[in-house]
Structure 1
Amino acid sequence: MKNLVEGALLVTILLSLFLYNMRAALIVAVIIPLSLLFAFVFMDLRGIPANLLSLGAIDFGIIVDGAVIMTENIMRHLSARRVRGQQAIREVQHAALEVARPLTFGVLIIMTVYVPILTFQRIEGKLFRPMAVTIALAVIGALALTLTLIPVLATFLFRRPPGERESPLLRWLRRPYAWLLAGCVRRPLLPVAGAAALLVLSCFAFMVLGKEFLPELDKGDLWLRVKFPVWGPRS
């Protein structure tokens, strides 16, 4: 639980740095505990305990991904139109509908990654299936909250249109990214060749790396077993 709280706080700080709007960061951060609550409710209904196997692979980045896109799009519409009242509500609805379809498709793509894990049987199924179920439930809950709760919170917290301010961190990252993007567009064969080289390198690394079901854990414990003869004294 401590790691979950620390992770949520870290994500909130990073959101405030990138979105450069505390209200937007709070709207996105609300998705984290509510999506986890959604997952915990269905875990309890399915009899899945909360332990290292079921909660260890939760990724807050995947959970808030859609919420960041939704909130940023709403902020962009409101800051560009500078509307208030009922017009602001309609603008929020328009911004939410604009990204609802790609967000849903993105979640479905993420879900397909965990489908093979759900088919595991025997010991590997007991080890990895709770992880896949927990992540899938959290992502589904995050999507439902992103499509419903975030537009509602935006209408309350953005009664005044947000200012169109760019984060200094993004401004600092924009220049090297623009230079890199321009170079890739001018020479498209370079990124394609680089991606192909990485693919070949990853396949080679996969073949030479050792493979085992579970890694050996060296906890520094010392096990001592003493055997006495059956006929000898034991004093």
Structure 2
Amino acid sequence: MANSNQIASDPNFTVQTLDMEMNMNLDQEESTFDYSKRAQWLRAAVLGANDGLVSTASLMMGVGAVKQDIKAMILTGFAGLVAGACSMAIGEFVSVYSQLDIELAQIKRDKTRTINDGIGKQQPLELEAKETEKLPNPIQAAAASALAFSIGAMVPLLAAAFIKQYRVRVAAVAAAVTVALVFFGWAGSALGKAPWARATVRVTIGGWVAMAITFGLTKLIGSSGL
């Protein structure tokens, strides 16, 4: 009994016990957390960043296939960044606003069935805060998509901005894009607690295929004298 009392009163024993309890609580919270709740914003963020990276890099590679001038390559990348960010923002805004309209209409239909004064005359429908707090936000979605696209597009632009030699510049863009693709693939799977290896390989190969096709077709058309 004395030994057990001494152990219980030992500060080191108390700290170890608290650490074990905290780790068990964290493990339990992690196992019960619904990672599917992240799906919507995670999809928009990863898609936007990956799209900005791949589309801007592909445009720069395509122009670089026929024009070795750094100015032409940078201007093409910048134009792709601005146009892509605006397109992503507008597309996401329209899409999410359509979803918002559908969900609001469904909420009102549900309330129509339950709110009635018994005479057949419906009372004014007012949405409560708890009914609207989980609804999608079009402006937030548009801003997130534009920002994510811009972040992805900045990678090839920064990689090419300070390199005048053509072959080195193209190699630097390809290397930077590859590293970024690996990171985006890993980040998306890590945030969603999904297997990272397949996601990383899928994202990286997809980006390389897009750049290779753009480079090859632009080179072919440019060499034909069109």
User: Which of the five TM-score ranges fits, normalised by the shorter chain?
Assistant: 0.3 to 0.5
Question: What is the TM-score of this pair, normalised by structure 2?
Answer: 0.38
> Which protein is richer in helix relative to its size?
2
**TM-score scaled to structure 1, two decimals?**
0.37
Larger Rg: 2
